Amino acid sequence: MIEVVDLHKSFKRQEVLRGVNLTFEPGKITTIIGGSGGGKTVLLKHLNALLLPDRGKVLVDGMDITRLRQKALNRIRNRFGVLFQGAALLDSMTIYDNVAFPLREKTQMSETQIRAKVEERLEQVGLERWGYKFPAEVSGGMKKRAGLARALVEDPEIVLFDEPTTGLDPMLAKSIHDLIARTQAHFGFTGIIVSHDIPEVFDISHVVAMLANGVIQEVGTAAEIQRSENPIVQQFLRGDTEGPMEVL
DSSP string, 121-166: HHHHTT-TT-TTS-GGGS-HHHHHHHHHHHHHTT--SEEEEESTTT
- Specify the 3-state DSSP secondary structure of 90: coil
Tell me what pLDDT residue 169 has: 86
The full DSSP string for 234-247 is HHHHHT-SSSSS--
Q: Whose CA is closest to 208, among 178, 188, 189, 228?
A: 228
pLDDT beneath 70: ranges in the chain:
248
Does residue 237 form part of some domain? yes
Does residue 13 form part of some domain? yes
Question: How far apart are alpha carbons 130 and 127 in whole angstroms?
Answer: 5
Tell me what pLDDT residue 248 has: 64
Question: How many folded domains does the chain comprise?
Answer: 1
Tell me what pLDDT residue 88 has: 86
Tell me what pLDDT residue 98 has: 96
Sheet holding 190-194, edge to edge: 80-83, 158-162, 190-194, 29-33, 207-212, 215-220
Does residue 242 form part of some domain? yes
Q: CATH number for the domain including 16?
A: 3.40.50.300
The conformation of residue 25, written as its DSSP 8-state character, comes to P
Q: Please check whether residue 214 is in contact with residue 12, taking contact to mean a CB–CB distance below 8 angstroms.
A: no
Does residue 212 form part of some domain? yes
- Residue 60 lies in domain: 1-79+189-248
Phi (first) and psi of residue 79, to 5 degrees:
-85, -5
Condensed to tens digits (0 to 9), the pLDDT of residues 52-103 reads 999 999 999 999 999 999 999 999 999 999 998 877 899 999 999 999 999 9
Does residue 235 form part of some domain? yes
Tell me what pLDDT residue 246 has: 78
**Beta carbons within 8 Å of 98's beta carbon, 6+ residues apart:** 89, 90, 135, 146, 150
Tell me what pLDDT residue 167 has: 81
Does residue 64 form part of some domain? yes
Sheet holding 55-60, edge to edge: 14-24, 2-11, 55-60, 63-64
Tell me what pLDDT residue 198 has: 85
Does residue 165 form part of some domain? no
Burial of 159-185, coded b for 16+ CB within 10 Å and e otherwise, reads bbbbbbbeebeeebbbbbbebbeebbe
- Specify the 3-state DSSP secondary structure of 111: helix
